[in-house]
Amino acid sequence: MVQTADSGLAVTEELLTKARDLAVQASDEGLTDADRQDLQAELTQVVDDIRGVGQRHRFKSFDLLDGSFQDRHLAAGPNGAASGDPISVSIDDMRVGALGRVATTTTTAMHSVASASIDTQAAADDALLTLDAALEQVAAQRGGLDSVSERLNHGVRRMQSEALAFEAGQQRVSDAQSARETARLAARRLRGAGAAALAAQGSLDPSRVLDLIEYSGARSA
């Protein structure tokens, strides 16, 4: 979700930068009215593109950039598993009508990117104020999302580390159990070999005794 929202804001930021470049060109004293009209036509298209980003950017059933995504709690862990406290996320209204709302040099009324105009030099100067404010808004919101993303990633890394530590512990237990079983098997084999040796020795001694008796009897005769 955070990545989806940030990708939309990245596109918005790129379009705002393009709009600002058009405003800078339109503020040039050497331009004719016809030149500014051409630039205005380009700006209108860029503003429409920004409007589309704000309207279409969604994640599942959530609109992300219309200001309705407020105080949503995300679990910091893989597959939605919680790790620590949930992280609260809010995204301000990033639609074209909410971006860059500042009082301009020619009027005290609040203007936004939606109403920006560059068809005159004065209007272009006002548009620059509006677009600069809009760029600051988007940059601030993206910074907030970067912070959220880092906290989420930290939670995932911590859970992965804990999982690896648990697996290593389980492996050590398994190794110890295997070692004990191996030792028991070795002990049983040794006991079996010893018993066989004793049995073999026990069966041999009577024969040796009989041989000695026979040898001794022969010499006496």
Q: Which domains does the chain have, with CATH numbers?
A: 2-164 (1.20.1330.10)
pLDDT score for 48: 97
Burial class (CB in 10 A: 0-12, 13-18, 19+), 73: exposed
Query: 10 Å Cβ neighbour count for 81?
Result: 11
Beta carbons of 158 and 83 less than 8 angstroms apart: yes
Helices (H), 27-120: 33-56
Query: 10 Å Cβ neighbour count for 211?
Result: 10
Beta carbons of 118 and 22 less than 8 angstroms apart: yes
Per-residue pLDDT at 73 exceeds 80: yes
pLDDT tens-digit series, residues 76-134: 655 444 455 678 899 999 999 999 987 655 555 678 999 999 999 999 999 999 999 99
In this structure, of 22-26, 65-69, 70-74, 117-121, the range with the lowest mean pLDDT score is: 70-74
